[in-house]
């Protein structure tokens, strides 16, 4: 494969339009990988971003200041059809050897040498109710088919690879499965060391709202596949001094019955819904939670599982294949819609030895989930190894 004449490095284009606060999970994944790939002496990175792109969470300028990195403006939205017409010219002018699209719907269908796209999940394909409309679902499936036919596919889990085989008949080899890592910012030990001793900083309120003394945490947008209403039903079966904190905003494309259900079950005062929080606040919310609850019906990976484990919080999650894959033996797995089983699993955390063993297993699992290893696996794919 041709290398940059000036440095001998492979010229890699990366679609950085997901480095925006609207794309929480994909943005985090892209930033963590980019942070490491831009330090790899084998690559020269061209990062495509929008001119008006903004983020409080990702320091794009810090990455862009590195010697073998350049920014190129590509002012077409990820949801715009015009991007498919504009990509070939943009890639030709950038003179990249290969290009990586962290979100497959933004991928170029032509140009740019070898093109890689990450397909994170097959959520919209799984059930019609998981898509905002039939038209959206049909368009999503059509574009996914085109991307799969014209790019090299990478997935974050064997479960996602199996879903792609089931829905699209495409085989993703294990060498193209790149499990994600977890950031050091969630690890209390790292925070303590950085502060030169003492416990990590605790918070008692966010946005003027006091935090409950004992709460269970969920992190994720309010979409049907997240199954958040199940947690409201579970809360109704727990003691009145226990609360639920939901971090993540509603998605306007779906109706969100969470507030109405909480009111109907008489637990409104015990449900705290937080939209956007800072990275520091999120890490603190994890650390101070009594447990992290993740009742999703389908996912492509499950990054919050690792974040909670790194923070030292016991995890209870849906018994679905991808969560078994990501969490391994470090979580309690419960059927997604079995309310009594969720209540029982939560009550099991009151047994001190069980809770301590779960936290220890979570620490070990999170420690093994390295962004450095994920970047190394991705680099090997880009280099054709």
Residue 5 belongs to some domain of the structure: no
Please indicate, yes or no, whether residues 177 and 195 belong to a single structural domain of this protein: no
Give backbone dihedrals phi and psi of 318, rounded to 5 degrees, phi first. Answer: -60, 145
Q: Per the structure, how many domains does the chain have?
A: 2
Residue 339 belongs to some domain of the structure: yes
Please indicate, yes or no, whether residues 128 and 271 belong to a single structural domain of this protein: no
Residues near 319 by beta carbon (within 8 Å), at least 6 away in sequence: 333, 334, 335, 336
Please indicate, yes or no, whether residues 151 and 207 belong to a single structural domain of this protein: no
pLDDT of residue 7: 63
Residues near 337 by beta carbon (within 8 Å), at least 6 away in sequence: 227, 230
Residue 232 belongs to some domain of the structure: yes
Please indicate, yes or no, whether residues 131 and 204 belong to a single structural domain of this protein: no
Say if residues 335 and 296 touch (Cβ distance below 8 Å): no
Residue 51 belongs to some domain of the structure: yes
Please indicate, yes or no, whether residues 246 and 338 belong to a single structural domain of this protein: yes
pLDDT of residue 197: 52
Please indicate, yes or no, whether residues 358 and 303 belong to a single structural domain of this protein: yes
Cα atoms found within 13 Å of the Cα of residue 285, Cβ hemisphere only: 29
Range of the domain at 266: 184-368
Residue 23 belongs to some domain of the structure: yes
Q: Residue 287 and residue 292: Cα distance in Å, rounded?
A: 10
Residue 227 belongs to some domain of the structure: yes
pTM, 2 dp: 0.93
Residues β-bridged to residue 15: 48
Q: Residue 378 and residue 185: Cα distance in Å, rounded?
A: 22
What is the 3-state secondary structure of the chain? CCCCCCCCCEEEEEECCCCCCCCHHHHHHHHHHHHHHCCCCCEEEEEEECCCCCCCCCCHHHHHCCCCEEEEECCCCCCCCHHHHHHHHHHHHHCCCEEEECCHHHCCCCCCCEEEEECCCCHHHHCHHHCCCHHHHHHHHHHHHHHHHHCEEEECCHHHHHHHHHHHCCCCCHHHECCCCCCHHHCHHHHHHHCCCCCCCCCCEECCEECCCCEEEEECCECHHHCHHHHHHHHCCCCCCCEEEEECCECCCCCCCHHHHHHHCCCHHHEEEECCCCHHHHHHHHHHCCEEEECCCCCCCCHHHHHHHHCCCCEEEECCHHHHHHHCCCCEEECCCCHHHHHHHHHHCCCHHHHHHHHHHHHHHHHHCCHHHHHHHHHHHHCCC
pLDDT of residue 195: 44
Please indicate, yes or no, whether residues 217 and 341 belong to a single structural domain of this protein: yes
Q: Residue 288 and residue 312: Cα distance in Å, rounded?
A: 9
CA distances to 208, 237, 308, 316, 344 from 350, rounded to whole Å, are 30, 15, 18, 13, 10
Say if residues 122 and 83 touch (Cβ distance below 8 Å): no
Residues near 121 by beta carbon (within 8 Å), at least 6 away in sequence: 160, 163, 298, 299, 300, 301
Please indicate, yes or no, whether residues 213 and 342 belong to a single structural domain of this protein: yes
CA angle 17, 161, 180 (to 5 degrees): 50
pLDDT of residue 196: 45
Residue pLDDT tens, the chain, 385 long: 444 444 689 999 999 999 988 888 899 999 999 999 999 999 999 999 998 887 788 899 999 999 999 999 999 999 899 999 999 999 999 999 999 999 999 999 998 889 999 999 999 999 999 999 999 999 999 999 999 999 999 999 999 999 999 999 999 999 999 999 998 888 876 544 444 455 567 899 998 889 999 999 999 999 999 999 999 999 999 999 999 999 998 888 999 999 999 999 999 999 999 988 888 899 999 999 999 999 999 999 999 999 999 999 999 999 999 999 999 999 999 999 999 999 999 999 999 999 999 999 999 999 999 999 999 999 999 999 7
pLDDT of residue 53: 80
Q: Residue 111 and residue 174: Cα distance in Å, rounded?
A: 26
Please indicate, yes or no, whether residues 235 and 171 belong to a single structural domain of this protein: no
CA angle 147, 154, 294 (to 5 degrees): 105
Residue 37 belongs to some domain of the structure: yes
CATH of the domain at 84: 3.40.50.2000
Please indicate, yes or no, whether residues 252 and 345 belong to a single structural domain of this protein: yes
pLDDT digits (tens, 9 = 90+) for 18-37: 998 888 889 999 999 999 99
Give backbone dihedrals phi and psi of 49, rounded to 5 degrees, phi first. Answer: -135, 160
Please indicate, yes or no, whether residues 231 and 263 belong to a single structural domain of this protein: yes
Residue 264 belongs to some domain of the structure: yes
pLDDT of residue 8: 85
pLDDT of residue 200: 62
Please indicate, yes or no, whether residues 154 and 245 belong to a single structural domain of this protein: no
């Amino acid at each position: 494969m041709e290398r940059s004449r000036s440095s001998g490095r492979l010229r890699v284009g990366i679609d950085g339009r997901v480095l925006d606060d609207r794309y929480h999970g994909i943005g985090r994944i892209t930033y963590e990988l980019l942070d490491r790939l831009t330090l790899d002496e084998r690559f020269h990175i061209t990062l495509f971003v929008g001119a008006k792109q903004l983020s409080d969470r990702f320091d794009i300028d810090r990455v862009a200041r590195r010697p073998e990195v350049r920014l190129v403006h590509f002012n077409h939205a990820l949801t715009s059809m015009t991007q498919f017409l504009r990509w070939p010219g943009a890639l030709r002018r950038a003179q990249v050897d290969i290009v990586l699209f962290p979100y497959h719907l933004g991928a170029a269908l032509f140009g740019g040498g070898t093109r890689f796209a990450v397909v994170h999940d097959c959520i919209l394909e799984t059930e019609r109710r998981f898509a905002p409309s039939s038209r959206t679902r049909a368009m999503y499936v059509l574009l996914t088919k085109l991307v799969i036919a014209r790019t090299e596919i990478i997935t974050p889990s064997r479960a996602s690879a199996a879903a792609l085989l089931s829905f699209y008949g495409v085989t993703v080899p294990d060498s193209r499965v790149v499990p994600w890592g977890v950031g050091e910012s969630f690890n209390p030990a790292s925070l303590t060391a950085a502060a030169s001793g003492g416990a990590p900083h605790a918070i008692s309120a966010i946005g003027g709202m006091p935090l409950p003394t004992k709460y269970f945490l969920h992190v994720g947008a309010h979409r049907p596949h997240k199954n958040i209403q199940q947690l409201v039903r579970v809360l109704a079966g727990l003691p009145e001094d226990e609360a639920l904190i939901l971090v993540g905003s509603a998605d306007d494309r779906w109706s969100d019955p969470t507030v109405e259900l909480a009111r109907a079950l008489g637990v409104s005062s015990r449900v705290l819904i937080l939209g956007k929080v800072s990275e520091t606040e999120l890490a603190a919310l994890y650390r101070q939670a009594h447990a992290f609850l993740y009742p999703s019906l389908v996912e492509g990976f499950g990054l919050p599982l690792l974040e909670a484990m790194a923070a030292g919080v016991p995890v209870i999650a849906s018994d679905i294949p991808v969560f078994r894959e990501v969490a391994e033996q470090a979580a309690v797995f419960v059927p997604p819609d079995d309310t009594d089983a969720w209540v029982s699993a939560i009550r099991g955390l009151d047994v001190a030895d069980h809770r301590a063993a779960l936290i220890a297993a979570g620490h070990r699992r999170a420690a093994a989930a390295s962004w450095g290893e994920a970047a190394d696996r991705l680099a090997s794919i880009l280099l054709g190894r």
